[in-house]
């Protein structure tokens, strides 16, 4: 069995490969039970084809720790992967996949709302599928926005609405309980990824935008239980990523598209299994006896 720490996980799992792993996650045969809170950790078991994984990650403030344990087709454990790293990469990658499916190849400006643990991979994922020319970064913390903007060669902005007004693609990754911008800031043709709100009390996108948009989710049951953006707007999704990939979706008749993700276990299975398999092939990671 192989152990991959955060550094090794990033070394073996490129964002372009992670996007392809998400394509598999939403086109393969999957079981994705809802996450369960146990003590101070979230537990997410899942199956994708003949591979099973269980993720346990802390939600204790200031302690982003956890692992994903991957089991092979015969039920034997084959790898342990750093949980927060896989979570960040696969959350970015699924936004990249949604952006690839829901935009043309011409978006020029990305607005990143939030500069926390998920933000860098959100940006990298959009860049993996679309050749954006500008990245605008907003955060309630000016110092975090500035630091991330430097890291990604983007521009820090002081107002979220200003960033959204200029953007073709908007990615939201915050723990907000109030909308981050006004409905009037969203131009026709904008695509929005919203991945931060994962409880009914959380919300990033104004209800008017949610009602206006063509809404795609990662999982209908998970969204109904956890997607505060949709729950508070009283909005049911138009389709899922799986149906979008399979061509089983209603025609897009809205001028704005929204991908609302709360995260499902098949994403962890696909990303962690790819990372473990590649690490074994390359002889990376720590061999556990």
Convert the pLDDT of each residue in 68-89 to its tens digit. Answer: 999 999 999 999 999 999 999 9
pLDDT digits (tens, 9 = 90+) for 261-285: 999 999 999 999 999 999 999 999 9
The torsion of the CA quartet 272, 128, 94, 68, rounded to 10 degrees, works out to: 20
Question: So where are the chain's domains?
Answer: 2-87+265-287, 92-260
pLDDT digits (tens, 9 = 90+) for 224-250: 999 999 999 999 999 999 999 999 999
Q: What is the DSSP letter of 256?
A: S
Answer yes or no: is pLDDT of 289 > 80. no
Classified as helix, coil or strand, 78 is strand
* Cα→Cα distances 69→32, 37, 60, Å: 15, 17, 20
Provide the mean pLDDT of the chain.
96
pLDDT at residue 5, as a whole number: 98
Average pLDDT over residues 169-178: 97
pLDDT at residue 22, as a whole number: 98
Answer yes or no: is pLDDT of 207 > 90. yes
What phi and psi, each to the nearest 5 degrees, are found at residue 39?
A: 60, -125
Answer yes or no: is pLDDT of 112 > 80. yes
Q: Kind and range of the H or E element at 45?
A: strand 41-48
Q: Kind and range of the H or E element at 241?
A: helix 241-246
Average pLDDT over residues 128-150: 97
pLDDT at residue 219, as a whole number: 94
CA distance 261 to 41: 20
Both tokens of residue 142? 């000016």
pLDDT at residue 62, as a whole number: 86
Q: For residues 252 and 212, is the Cβ–Cβ distance under 8 A?
A: no
Band of pLDDT at residue 105, cut at 50, 70 and 90: confident
Q: Kind and range of the H or E element at 146?
A: helix 142-152
pLDDT at residue 104, as a whole number: 87
pLDDT digits (tens, 9 = 90+) for 33-64: 988 999 999 999 999 999 999 999 998 988 88
The torsion of the CA quartet 6, 66, 43, 20, rounded to 10 degrees, works out to: 0
* CATH label, 92-260, candidates 3.40.50.720, 3.40.50.740, 3.40.190.10, 3.40.50.150: 3.40.50.720
Asked if the 2-87+265-287 domain carries CATH number 3.30.428.10, the reply is: no
pLDDT at residue 6, as a whole number: 97
């Amino acid at each position: 069995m192989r152990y991959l720490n955060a550094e090794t996980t990033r070394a073996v799992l490129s964002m372009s490969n992670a996007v392809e792993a998400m394509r598999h996650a939403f086109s393969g045969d999957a079981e994705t039970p809802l996450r369960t809170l146990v003590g101070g950790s979230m537990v997410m078991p899942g199956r994708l084809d003949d591979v099973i994984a269980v993720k346990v990650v802390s939600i204790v403030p200031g302690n982003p720790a956890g692992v994903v344990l991957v089991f092979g087709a015969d039920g034997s454990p084959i790898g342990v992967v750093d949980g927060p790293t896989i979570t960040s990469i696969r959350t970015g990658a699924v936004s990249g996949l949604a952006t690839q499916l829901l935009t043309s190849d011409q978006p020029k400006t990305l607005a990143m709302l939030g500069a926390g643990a998920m933000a860098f991979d959100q940006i990298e994922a959009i860049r993996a599928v679309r050749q954006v020319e500008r990245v605008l970064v907003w955060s309630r913390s000016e110092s975090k926005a500035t630091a991330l903007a430097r890291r990604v060669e983007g521009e820090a902005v002081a107002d979220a609405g200003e960033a959204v007004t200029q953007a073709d693609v908007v990615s939201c990754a915050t723990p907000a309980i109030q909308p981050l911008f006004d409905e009037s800031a969203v131009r026709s043709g904008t695509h929005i990824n919203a991945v931060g709100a994962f409880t009914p009390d959380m919300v990033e996108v104004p209800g008017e935008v949610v009602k206006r948009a063509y809404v795609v989710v990662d999982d209908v049951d998970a969204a109904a239980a956890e997607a505060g953006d949709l729950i508070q707007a009283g909005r049911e999704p138009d389709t899922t990523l799986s149906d979008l990939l399979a061509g089983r979706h209603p025609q897009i008749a809205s001028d704005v598209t929204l991908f609302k993700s709360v995260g499902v276990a098949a994403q962890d299975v696909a990303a962690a299994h790819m990372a473990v398999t590649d690490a074994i092939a390359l002889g990376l990671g720590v061999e556990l006896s």
